[in-house]
Amino acid sequence: MPESTKQKGALRKLFFTMLYISTFTFGGGFVIITFMKKKFVDELHWIDETEMLDLTALAQSSPGAIAVNAAILVGWRVAGFPGMAVAVLATIIPPMVILSVISFFYAAFAANTYVALVLKGMQAGVAAVILDVVVGLGANVVKTKSIIHLAIMAAAFIATFVYGVNVIYIILGAAAIGILLAMYDRKRKEERQ
């Protein structure tokens, strides 16, 4: 099979996968990342679990919507620039269509008690999905048995829930520690050689 045909097939699969994920996930970027992990790591094996964790961290720490940032990174990883463009397009189409319809019928939706009840029920489902992401990604950190990573995770939790520190400061602090650790590891490798 020619390379261009393989790439077109991969782009088509990437588009429809991201379109499906974006259409049927409610609750924001962390929910969509869970489904992206299940599809691209567990089912398709296009990305390994460690790399997905890194892409999630990058998507979260970059400005903008986490879902779009994750689509950019996963699309780039899977098929370069065309993959990135296809993944972003597929990710933004469903919310744009849904928001357009909702804005057109906003007055009817706002006063409807059934719609309000459905949205309340969806909040519980979203909370469960986010908890699943936290447990899954946290378990990966625990498996590394790195005292530094465990300390960062515990410090981030305490800073958020006990002291109410803004998440942006936690992300920037964790990024700074990660950069320092990477520089330290690189220096040690150079000294060994």
And the tokens for 122? Answer: 């969806």
- Range in 129-133, 145-149, 181-185 the model is least confident about: 129-133
Cβ–Cβ under 8 Å, residues 35 and 25: yes
| Separation between Cα atoms, residue 89 and residue 104, nearest integer Å | 22
Whether pLDDT at 1 is above 70: no
| Separation between Cα atoms, residue 129 and residue 105, nearest integer Å | 28
| Band (149; pLDDT cuts 50, 70, 90) | confident
**pTM score, whole prediction:** 0.60
For residue 28, what pLDDT is reported?
Answer: 67
Cβ–Cβ under 8 Å, residues 33 and 56: yes
Cβ–Cβ under 8 Å, residues 75 and 42: no
And the tokens for 57? Answer: 């961290």
* Closest to 134 (Cα-Cα) out of 37, 45, 24: 37
Percent of the chain with pLDDT over 90: 27
| Separation between Cα atoms, residue 173 and residue 170, nearest integer Å | 5
